[in-house]
Structure 1
């Protein structure tokens, strides 16, 4: 299957919001293959391909140099950002390639492509001329995607890196055919869940602000792309409260028919008792934590950013 004929689906969200279970379910469909690994990281991650092209997001640079994300970097910018390029190469050969084993670690790029392909793709990217960098970056992306060992010609490819949503505007600029599934979840459960992750904030107050920033950035990013290019799914509705309707919405959005293997996975694995551990009350036991969450939640609602709670 060539890149010209492959549809791209980017699942994302705040993290701990159901991105992985959505990707695993879609992978059961005969017309869909999940990326190998299911999170590529080299596109939307920190110091990833999008940062090389458009500069770090304003949020990642403490809101400085806001104009960088609107343009391709010039030659002088590349000199100024040589450390960014070095970090990209280091991660491509290191943490993105073969992450250290442990809790919260997903397989790396080495599970899907060979080292030879990686080096050839990287060499071609680095040799791209200044005015051809964007097309060179696309060739790098497609080489890494098309060469994955689980590519058997499926017409749809899906990645589940959580940053896909708050990077949606730049992904869409880079890959205009992209579609997005925004997985959402009761913020209290997201916060309680992320506190247990090795990569997440350990303090409930910090976790609340982490959640707020991700929700806000995701909302702003989706405002910048056509509404027909994305769908939003609440995990609570998908797994329990409105299962069949939400499942049908996914089929309609992707313009695919139902599939027996995917349906069986949905019925057996996408269940409240399996994926909805509603234990947020422990994390919010201190009155100050709940008070802060209510304040932040109210601020988001006043900004027109819906953040539904499920009691």
Structure 2
């Protein structure tokens, strides 16, 4: 038989106080004054009896589970970094995280289960990591109708009425170009922008923002924009690199790539062509999905989309919704700047 669970009644009896006083000490209940000696007696009884708060009972009393759902693909490195930020912020707020992942095709469940968990009071809010094209208005409507505190990371950028944590992709390109073309580097032609794409990928707001920022930067600096579209894993890097070569021995044009996931193939092609990265050709990435600044050789210069900070901000956004949200002047769209990671490639 299991050992009998210690209750707040046992703590009150050991400390010689009422259960309401024990509750006031545990919850810092406003309006109930507890003297220092009484508080210490209660805390001493808690330690002696090894008492732990009954989370289920507290949930019934407060209406809160002290748990947030994090929805995303656990195989994706960006989701793991998002979770790192969420965990840090949840620890500060006394919250736990419940992991929920998309189901394989053909299986029921997925996002619908999140709403069931909320109605069952097993979670207090939802954070989803979405792709930048995500804008499922039916899901957003169901969340709104249920009154669930919810935030999408990277989704719903152009949809009003949904809280989103978003990366400033325009600013990330401007930061990258500022570093790539910084003072002190050798005289060089204007930068070329390589836009890697999936075969079936939509032209989403993030890629448009990056492209427009590149074009705007070039025009502001009196340079001609040159955009090269590269199919991911399409074997087109050789032609791209050869096109960077200047006439009559002039230096290669610097290259800014939108996705760092394309960098391994680009590095391999440069090696096959006998080009030294960082010397013959200078390369930079407008994201850091693969942690290229640490895992590539030479180390990749890049700007990093701040997924850890986005996870922290997502938790704060959900908790603020629980505390009043729009009535408290909460902003629907929160944009976070990218972080420069200098390396040896540029």
Shorter chain as normaliser: what TM range? Answer: under 0.3
TM-score by length of 1: 0.26
Greater helix percent: which structure? 1
TM-score by length of 2: 0.23
Higher RCO (C-alpha 8 Å, min separation 6): 1
